[in-house]
Chain A
Amino acid sequence: MRTLDELKSIKDKNEKEMALRSETGRPAITVHMGTCGIANGAREVLNTVLAELKERNVTDVHVTQTGCPGLCHKEPLITITEKGKNPYLYGMVTPENVKRIVLEHVINGHPIKEWLVNLEK
């Protein structure tokens, strides 16, 4: 070890990997994985979300799963939660359009209004 910068680069790399263990302040993605969700392809959606985040090297977005929220006809569903805001619920999510949700909403911060199912809130 010769410089503090060298130490800093080790820190940055590993801090990213460990971001999942603490509150990051970034939006969190919840994929609804009830029987109805899984039957409609929630697993593929989840896989795509993970692959997309990996590809874009985003490590501070938490991805979790939960059960059925009751809107079975709109499955697969995902919820994006941001601190201090109402959750955004997206319905009929596919592996294709979830890539856009990740990029536009989660990374760039612009919810895609036409795909939301809980706009009335």
Chain B
Amino acid sequence: MEFFRSHVLICTGTGCTSSGSRLVISGLRKELEERNLEKEIRVVETGCFGFCNLGPIMVVYPEGVFYCQVKLEDIKEIVEEHFVKGRPVKRLLYSDPNTEVKTQEFENIEFFKHQKRIALSNCGSINPEKIEEYIAKDGYFALGKVLNEMTPLDVIEEIKKSGLRGRGGGGFPTGVKWGFAYKAKADQKYIVCNADEGDPGAFMDRSVLEGDPHSVLEAMAIAGYAIGASQGYVYVRAEYPIAVERLTLAIKQARNLGLLGKNIFGKGFDFEIDIRLGAGAFVCGEETALLTSIEGKRGEPRPRPPFPANSGLWGKPTIINNVETLANVARIIRNGWEWFASMGTEKSKGTKVFALAGKINNTGLIEVPMGTTLRTIIYDIGGGIPNGKKFKAAQTGGPSGGCITAELMDTPIDYDNLIAIGSMMGSGGLIVMDEDTCMVDIARFFLEFTQEESCGKCPPCRIGTKRMLEILTRICEGKGVPEDLETLETLAKTIKSTALCGLGQTSPNPVLSTLRYFRHEYEAHIYNKKCPAGVCKALLSYEIDPEKCRGCGLCARNCPVDAISGKIKEPFVIDNDKCIKCGTCMEKCKFGAISRK
């Protein structure tokens, strides 16, 4: 064994890889070799730290120094100053966007301080491509404990008592679901991991698979033992190449050590896991559509009941759990249900991972105890709204959810509270919107997504969402009529109660939720033909104030469609028929003579 005095952890998740962490790693390895430090300093490739907008992220142990946005050009300085002389490179430390204070150790950074990482506990602290590092963090001991000391019913009881609920969005109690499949009589049962994460802007599951794939495999084996299944499938989208690669490797390593396969721990329990790639259809995240897709057919949902726990894959009892749900299972078994149930709110236990996106300073991945308020998430962890703008609303649950307004910011976030305010937990996408966001436009955006992703099997979803989208588009274009709001509500309620699957039933939620909290914006579009946030282009017009215009012609030269004309040193005029409302003239004008109305 080599003696390393320092471990340098660099994120190789999708976020940091796309900002160049591979280059940084190869550059660092080369530099260490040139200075004969490769036997003193070990480079470790890890999963996601969550601070994706500051990637590539590098953490140096034992000091725990946290470097952000490390570039290949910074490597020489880091090696020379930090690794040779022991002086951390200050300019690469995290700098708080509001106070500009630099922080060296990452546990002291506000973004991490308010988090509680359970499902993500190994992400960013182990090398996901080495099963030994997972085992060093007590990995596979829960599987060992279950096989050696517990009956399947003990396992199910433990999960039930922990209060773990499905993290994919529905929030169904996991232990109860396992209990149904346990009771179902069949010669073959299946465990399926739903990694078909499709919400725009959500990447919780991807990060867990990339940063800690073994936690998912271990949990699938535990679930298999609990319900009596010997085969598992991970249904993951093909757009997640790094996750697929690491899962494949993890399965191979677990097989080599006999942690998957025949007669695990000599207890006569067999369990195999295979990967099935999804082609990226949003509807395949719906459990019955997902099963149909695994069976090799077109990914379309079917009516429930029968529920998959009784009749799922090829008609056999099947448990489908989301990635994040599974990532909690081994930890519950190891630490006991009391530990898990001590976190969270009365009916929502444990933590939840959220992907922060939109108009927020710290975009990235966070994990907080259930019951944390939106205010803590946005201002303490997220670092607030950029450019001093005002918070308007946050969308949870992606295209199936709704918005949380500024007045509701102090509501503790859990499954039931979110339903009560007309949104839903969803899988954990959290999109922050500021005062410049038009809520009608947002509703149109989400509906456009679900309408396009509708599989077309049932008419309420296929035709209903299309009609709703037409109305919303019309409103955004300034052609809305007073009856539109009533029609939208009727359509929404009908789709909600008659669509076949979760995709259709939840697709009107963004419209209902924005109608509930931002009805005045719809009315402004319809009656006054104005977009209060200044987003809907058809409702805007740009005008030049002849008093302020000096006739320099800068606007006319920059106009991409030649909509501005005039004589030099005389006021210019915008032709609103030609204008495409790009706003370039307003940006360019040095005298503030152009305004948007």
| Chain A interface residues toward B at CB < 8 A | 1-4, 7, 10-11, 13-15, 17-18, 20-21, 28, 30-31, 33-34, 50-51, 53-54, 57, 59, 62-67
Q: Which partner residue on chain A sits nearest B3 by CB separation?
A: A54
Which one, A2, A3, A7, A64, contacts B135 given CB within 8 A? A7
Given contacts A1-B259, A14-B133, A21-B125, A50 and B264 within 8 Å (CB-CB): no
Give the nearest-CB partner of A43 in chain B.
B84
20 more A-B contacts (CB under 8 A) besides A1-B259, A62-B5, A64-B5? A1-B258, A1-B264, A1-B265, A2-B265, A7-B140, A11-B136, A14-B132, A17-B136, A18-B7, A18-B133, A21-B61, A31-B86, A33-B84, A33-B86, A50-B3, A53-B3, A54-B1, A59-B3, A62-B62, A65-B84
B63 in the interface, Cβ–Cβ < 8 Å?
Answer: yes
Cβ contact within 8 Å between B85 and A33:
yes
A2 and B258 form a contact (CB under 8 A): yes
B62/A65 in contact, CB under 8 A: no
The reply to whether A50 and B40 form a contact with Cβ atoms under 8 Å apart is yes
Contact A20 B265 (CB under 8 A): no
- Taking a contact as CB atoms under 8 Å apart, the answer to whether A17 and B1 are in contact is yes
Contact of A14 with B136 in the complex, beta carbons under 8 Å? yes
Q: Which residues of A are found within 8 Å of B87, using beta-carbon distances?
A: 66-67
Does A65 lie within 8 Å of B148, measured CB to CB?
no
Closest 10 CB pairs of A and B: A65-B86, A54-B3, A62-B62, A14-B136, A1-B258, A63-B5, A15-B136, A14-B132, A66-B86, A21-B61
- Nearest CB on A from B124, distance (A): 10
Smallest CB-CB separation from A30: which chain B residue? B86
Interface centre among A3, A7, A34 (most CB of B within 10 A): A7
Q: Which residues of B contact A2 (CB under 8 A)?
A: 258, 265-266
**For residues 542 through 585 of chain B, which have their beta carbon under 8 Å from a beta carbon of chain A?**
none
Chain B positions 1-23 with a Cβ under 8 Å from a chain A Cβ:
1-7, 9
Chain B contact-residue range equals 20 to 34
Closest to B149 in A: A4
Determine how close the nearest CB of chain A comes to the CB of B222; give it in whole angstroms. 15
A4 to B, closest residue via Cβ: B144
Q: Does B138 contact A (CB under 8 A)?
A: yes
Decide if B379 is an interface residue (CB 8 Å cutoff): no
Across-interface contacts of B61 in A (CB, < 8 A): 20-21
Determine chain B's interface SS by DSSP, over half rule: loop
B307 within 8 A of A: no
Listed by A's residue number, 7 A-B pairs whose Cβ atoms lie within 8 Å are A7-B140, A7-B144, A10-B136, A18-B133, A30-B86, A50-B40, A67-B87
Kindly list chain A residues whose C-beta atoms are within 8 Å of the C-beta of B259: 1
> How far apart sit A10 and B140, CA to CA, in the bound complex (Å)?
11
Neighbouring B residues of A51 by C-beta, 8 Å = 3
In the bound complex, how far is the Cα of B132 from the Cα of A14, in angstroms? Answer: 6
Chain A contacts for B86, CB-based, 8 A: 30-31, 33, 64-67
Nearest B residue to A67 via CB reads: B87
Query: Whose C-beta in chain B lies nearest to the C-beta of A62?
Result: B62
A21 and B85 contact, CB distance less than 8 A: no
| Chain A proximity of B234: nearest CB distance (Å) | 21
B272 shortest CB reach to chain A, Å: 15
**Is B257 part of the contact surface with A, judged by Cβ < 8 Å?**
yes
- Chain B positions 247-303 with a Cβ under 8 Å from a chain A Cβ: 257-259, 264-266
Q: Which residues of B contact A3 (CB under 8 A)?
A: 265-266
Whether the pair B258, A64 counts as a contact (CB closer than 8 A) is no
In Å, the complex CA distance between A83 and B1 comes to 28
Shortest C-beta distance, A70 to chain B (Å), equals: 15
Q: How far is the CA of A67 from the CA of B140 in the complex (A)?
A: 43
Instruction: Determine how close the nearest CB of chain A comes to the CB of B86; give it in whole angstroms.
Output: 3
Least distance between B211 CB and chain A CB atoms (Å): 15
A30 to B140, CA, bound (A): 36
Q: In angstroms, how far is the closest chain B Cβ from the Cβ of A12?
A: 8
Q: Which residues of A contact B133 (CB under 8 A)?
A: 14, 18
Distance from A7 Cβ to chain B, minimum over Cβ atoms (Å)? 6
Residue B141 CB within 8 A of the other chain? yes
Check B141–A21 contact: CB distance below 8 A.
Answer: no
A15 to B133, CA, bound (A): 8
Contacting pair B148 A50 (CB below 8 A): no
A11: which B residues are within 8 A, CB to CB?
135-136, 138, 141
Nearest chain A CB to B224 CB, angstrom units: 16
Report how far A70 CA is from B1 CA in the complex, Å.
36
When distances are taken between beta carbons in the complex, the residues of chain B under 8 Å from A18 are: 7, 126, 133, 136
Residues in B with CB closer than 8 Å to A33 are: 84-86
Within 8 Å CB of B126, what residues of A?
Answer: 18
A21/B9 in contact, CB under 8 A: yes
B135 near A14 (CB under 8 angstroms)? yes
Residue of A nearest to B39 (CB): A50
B493 to chain A, nearest CB (A): 54
Whole-angstrom distance between the alpha carbons of A68 and B93 in the complex? 22
Q: Say yes or no: A20 contacts B4, CB within 8 Å.
A: yes
Q: Do residues B62 and A64 form an inter-chain contact, with CB atoms below 8 A?
A: yes
CA distance A110 to B87 in the complex (A): 29
- Interfacial residues of chain B within 500-547, with CB under 8 A of chain A in the complex: none
- The CA of A4 and the CA of B149, in the complex, are separated in Å by 11
> Which residues of chain A are near B135, meaning CB under 8 Å?
7, 10-11, 14
A28 CA to B6 CA, complexed, in Å: 13
User: Which residues B105-145 have CB closer than 8 A to chain A?
Assistant: 125-126, 132-133, 135-136, 138, 140-141, 144
Contact B7 A1 (CB under 8 A): no
- Minimum CB–CB distance for A52 against chain B, Å: 9
Instruction: Give the complex CA separation of A50 and B84 in angstroms.
Output: 14
Asked whether A1 lies within 8 Å of B257 as measured between CB atoms, the reply is yes
Bound complex: CA A65 to CA B62 (Å): 11
Q: How far is the CA of A30 from the CA of B258 in the complex (A)?
A: 42
Give every chain A residue within 8 A of B258 (Cβ-Cβ): 1-2
A1-B257, A14-B133 known; A20+B7 contact, CB < 8 A: yes
Q: Which residues of B contact A17 (CB under 8 A)?
A: 1, 4, 136
- The residues of A that contact B9 with a CB separation of less than 8 Å are 21
Task: Kindly identify which residue among A10, A14, A28, A57 contacts B62, using a CB–CB cutoff of 8 Å.
Answer: A28
- Contacts of B40 on A, CB cut-off 8 Å? 50
Give, as a whole number of angstroms, the nearest-CB distance from B524 to chain A: 55
Given A1-B258, A2-B258, A64 contacting B63 (CB threshold 8 A)? yes
Q: How far is the CB of A16 from the nearest CB of chain B, in Å?
A: 8
B3 to chain A, nearest CB (A): 3
Nearest-neighbour CB distance to chain A for B218, whole angstroms, equals 11
